């Protein structure tokens, strides 16, 4: 029997999820940056800066950014650590092209490589990277466990994984307000700014289907890391998991 998984609140065949996700990101690629600023009131920029600070990057580090999209994380790293070597990667060519064009236009391409790849089957050798980052990407994976195992495999011993992702608000009242915002305002914003309410409905649904902070920590430890801490931002709307092997 065909294995099923979720695509937002819908059940789909596992083999088709990636194509559904691809459809969403191809559709939003051009308006992705404007929508990010509008939806988070610019806060996503702060979250990404915090992720880079927590990464404790050294010049000359080799960094793999998975699900880079339009390259926000790669841009911060490239500007702050110009001697690093950054692999800006994404499964979706439309998103990656936006990111690559931006890297050229905004002058941060000189230490970046651009690769189309899935974070679930990473085509690099074991122990290739000092740091692996992934921002708002893991939620979209068909097989998150496989992805995390791949990230562990590609990290050097002592390397660090940083996962920035939507998570579960801690305060119940805040959680209710956030739910209302997500299901009423987000799709409308998507419709007005990106002419696409469906993709933003998917965003709201996919956030609810994603594991909470503790569950994700368990998944990360199960993937072979022996240390994992997480930091809640904005009452847990977003969290950053930092994992490594001592």
Ligand X SMILES: C[S@@+](CC[C@H](N)C(=O)[O-])C[C@H]1O[C@@H](n2cnc3c(N)ncnc32)[C@H](O)[C@@H]1O
Interface contacts to ligand X, rule CB under 6 A: 21, 25, 66-69, 72-73, 90-92, 95, 118-120, 135-137, 140-141
If the CB atoms of residues 119 and 158 are measured against ligand X, the closer one turns out to be 119
Looking at the Cβ atoms of 207 and 243, the one nearer to ligand X is 207
Q: What tokens does 106 get?
A: 């905004």
Residue 120 beta carbon to ligand X: minimum distance, rounded to whole angstroms: 5
- Write down the least CB distance from residue 143 to ligand X, Å: 9
Shortest reach from residue 10's CB to ligand X, in Å: 16
Determine the Cα–Cα distance for residues 209 and 7; give it in Å rounded to an integer. Answer: 9
E strands, 62-167, are 62-66, 85-90, 112-116, 129-135, 155-166
CB 131 within 8 A of CB 160: yes
The phi and psi torsions of 192 (rounded to 5 degrees) equal -70, -50
Element (H, E) at 111: none
Nearer to ligand X, 51 or 228 (CB): 51
Closer of 71 and 159 to ligand X (Cβ): 71
Instruction: Select the residue whose beta carbon is closest to ligand X and give its number.
Output: 69
Partnered with residue 113 across adjacent β-strands are 87
According to DSSP, the residues that pair with 133 across neighbouring strands are 65, 162
Least spacing, CB of residue 115 vs ligand X, in Å: 10
């Amino acid at each position: 029997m065909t294995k099923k998984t979720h695509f937002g609140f819908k059940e789909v065949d596992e083999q088709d999820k990636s194509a559904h996700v691809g459809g969403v990101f191809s559709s939003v690629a051009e308006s992705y940056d404007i929508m990010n600023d509008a939806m988070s009131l610019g806060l996503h920029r702060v979250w990404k800066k915090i992720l880079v600070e927590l990464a404790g990057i050294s010049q000359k580090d080799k960094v793999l950014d998975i699900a880079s999209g339009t390259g926000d994380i790669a841009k911060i790293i490239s500007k702050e650590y110009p001697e690093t070597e950054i692999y800006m990667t994404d499964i979706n060519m439309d998103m990656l092209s936006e990111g690559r064009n931006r890297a050229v236009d905004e002058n941060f391409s000189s230490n970046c490589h651009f690769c189309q790849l899935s974070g679930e089957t990473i085509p690099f050798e074991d122990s290739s990277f000092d740091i692996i980052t992934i921002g708002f990407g893991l939620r979209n994976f068909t097989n998150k466990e496989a992805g995390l195992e791949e990230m562990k495999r590609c990290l050097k011993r002592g390397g660090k994984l940083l996962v920035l992702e939507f998570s579960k608000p801690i305060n119940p009242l805040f959680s209710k307000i956030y739910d209302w915002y997500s299901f009423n305002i987000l799709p409308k914003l998507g419709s007005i700014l990106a002419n696409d309410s469906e993709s933003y409905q998917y965003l709201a649904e996919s956030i609810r289907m994603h594991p909470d902070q503790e569950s994700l920590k368990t998944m990360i430890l199960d993937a072979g890391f022996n240390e994992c801490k997480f930091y809640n931002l904005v009452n847990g709307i977003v969290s950053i998991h930092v994992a490594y092997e001592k």
